């Protein structure tokens, strides 16, 4: 009986591909790596950033008008031509501010998983992820530099003073502000890093992950091992797509221990990253087409438009990497345990809930569960030199834009529907995923205009009391 059980366990852990298929995967990795190495898109982005001057690009749209903040709202209809163009530029800033934060996350997770793959004989894949990391650093620098100059030109120095959460905490009840700005999770996972129990929490979560993945200790992430030797916490963000989806920080670190703990989970992190890749592509593909349209007509191409186009081309390699690892490479590794399946399903469910379960009233490609932070950003824009509204008038416009149906909601719903179709096509073939993830059911049920408006009405009531 014992021998039978051991035999079954060994069978469960067997590989699901032939040696020929494994060699095919390695060949695809090598081809992608060489193509990415030979491209010069990152260098073009660096050159565009170096020479960027807002005034030289200020009189042109950087993408199609529909890719503008507040597009389709009553305020957009009442805005002047120069204000509409500025709102187009602000959308570029907002989008790439999130992209920069997301790529900062990518740098960390690439380093966590690269050595796991190297330990399994995929040295070229490890090299490819190192190349990606170098490219991401250049992208981040360009987005921050261009975005900073744009915000300063449009909104002045006050644009960089107080963050939404800090100011909202100052002007409203702290417990209510926390409810509106953070996910609800058990207290154990909401401990602050300066809490005396933070160390216990960190090591307890690491212990759980390492215990459950003990059979893979030979491939444990070298990056994580180095952090452990120096008693450092894993760096995480709450502003990138994965950071928002897997918030709070303790949860992100728990998943990071898992991504670095087994080959299967390392590969399935890239299924998570694929979601972020698709969110970006959903918008950036349109900007790339806009670049080509301008080039075909011989028109002036604004530097940010060109940056978006070349970033789209660079990211196509990264998307191919995510797809290859998540969809194909995981089959080269032992079949996942129940714990491993649960972990990736939980992560994908949280990502759906955090970044895909809503519709924004004022940004066509934003799908977070609520628009609370955008209310403050719009309120701030309306009082800036761009619109020069007094506080009460600004609040009235916020209510009109967020709490009533308009064309902007329809635009966001269109983007959301297209993104869900892309997600379903990708995740639909993964047998180890729960139906709610394969079919993106949470995204479908939560992403409706009516639910978004009802949520905004409740949020605006608290918001207006805080800022009236």
Q: What residue spans define the domains of the chain?
A: 24-467
Which distant-in-sequence residues (6+ apart) come within 8 Å of 465 by Cβ?
172
Residue 137 pLDDT > 90: yes
- Tell me the pLDDT tens digit for each residue of 55-109: 999 999 999 999 999 999 999 999 999 999 999 999 999 999 999 999 999 999 9
Q: Within a 10 A sphere around the Cβ of 81, how many other Cβ atoms?
A: 7
Average model confidence (pLDDT) for the chain?
88
Compute the average pLDDT of residues 228-252. Answer: 90
The percent of residues in the chain predicted with pLDDT above 70, rounded, is: 87
Whether residue 310 contacts residue 291, with contact meaning beta carbons closer than 8 Å, is answered with no
Q: In the prediction, which pLDDT does 369 show? A: 81
Residue 300 pLDDT > 60: yes
- Tell me the pLDDT tens digit for each residue of 316-373: 999 999 999 999 999 999 999 999 999 999 999 999 999 999 999 999 999 998 888 8
Compute the average pLDDT of residues 417-439. Answer: 96
Band the pLDDT of 133: cuts 50, 70, 90: very high
Band the pLDDT of 454: cuts 50, 70, 90: very high
Compute the average pLDDT of residues 37-48. Answer: 94
First to last CA, the chain: 73
Band the pLDDT of 17: cuts 50, 70, 90: low
- Tell me the pLDDT tens digit for each residue of 150-198: 999 998 876 666 444 444 434 444 444 333 333 333 333 333 444 546 6
Q: In the prediction, which pLDDT does 419 show? A: 96
Compute the average pLDDT of residues 193-215. Answer: 80
- Tell me the pLDDT tens digit for each residue of 2-14: 343 343 344 344 4
């Amino acid at each position: 009986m014992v021998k039978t059980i051991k035999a079954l366990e060994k069978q469960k852990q067997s590989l699901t591909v032939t040696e020929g298929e494994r060699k095919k995967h390695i060949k695809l990795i090598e081809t992608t790596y060489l193509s990415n190495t030979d491209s010069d898109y990152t260098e073009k982005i660096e050159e565009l950033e170096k020479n960027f001057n807002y005034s030289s690009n200020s009189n042109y749209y950087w993408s199609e008008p529909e890719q503008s903040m507040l597009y389709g709202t009553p305020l957009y209809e009442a805005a002047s031509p120069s204000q509409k163009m500025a709102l187009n530029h602000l959308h570029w800033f907002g989008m790439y501010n999130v992209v920069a934060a997301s790529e900062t996350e990518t740098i960390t997770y690439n380093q966590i998983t690269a050595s796991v793959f190297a330990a399994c004989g995929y040295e070229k894949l490890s090299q490819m992820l190192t190349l990606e990391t170098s490219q991401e650093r250049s992208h981040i620098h360009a987005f921050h530099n261009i975005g900073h100059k744009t915000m300063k030109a449009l909104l002045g120095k006050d644009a960089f003073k107080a963050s939404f959460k800090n100011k909202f905490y100052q002007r409203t009840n702290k417990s209510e502000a926390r409810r509106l700005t953070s996910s609800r999770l058990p207290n154990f996972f909401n401990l602050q890093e300066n809490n005396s129990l933070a160390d216990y929490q960190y090591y307890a979560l690491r212990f759980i992950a390492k215990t459950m993945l003990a059979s893979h200790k030979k491939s444990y992430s070298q990056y994580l091992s180095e952090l452990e030797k120096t008693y450092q916490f894993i760096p995480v963000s709450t502003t990138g797509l994965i950071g928002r989806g897997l918030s709070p920080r303790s949860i992100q670190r728990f998943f990071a221990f898992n991504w670095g703990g087994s080959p299967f989970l390392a590969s399935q992190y890239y299924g998570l990253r694929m979601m972020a890749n698709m969110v970006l592509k959903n918008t950036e593909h349109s900007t790339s087409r806009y670049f080509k349209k301008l080039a075909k007509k011989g028109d002036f191409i604004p530097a940010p438009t060109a940056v978006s186009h070349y970033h789209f081309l660079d990211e196509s390699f990264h998307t191919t990497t995510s797809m290859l690892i998540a969809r194909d490479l995981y089959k080269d590794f032992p079949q996942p345990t129940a714990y491993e399946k649960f972990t990736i399903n939980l992560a994908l469910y949280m990502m759906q809930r955090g970044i895909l379960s809503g519709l924004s009233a004022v940004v066509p490609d934003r799908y977070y569960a609520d628009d609370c932070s955008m209310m403050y950003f719009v309120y701030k824009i309306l009082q800036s030199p761009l619109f020069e509204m007094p506080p009460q008038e600004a609040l009235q416009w916020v209510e009109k834009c967020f709490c009533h149906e308009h064309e902007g909601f329809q635009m966001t719903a269109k983007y959301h529907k297209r993104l869900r179709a892309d997600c379903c096509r990708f995740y639909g073939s993964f047998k180890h995923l729960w139906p709610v993830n394969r079919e993106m059911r949470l995204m479908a049920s939560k992403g409706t205009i009516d639910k978004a408006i009802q949520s905004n009405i409740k949020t605006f009531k608290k918001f207006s009391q805080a800022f009236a």
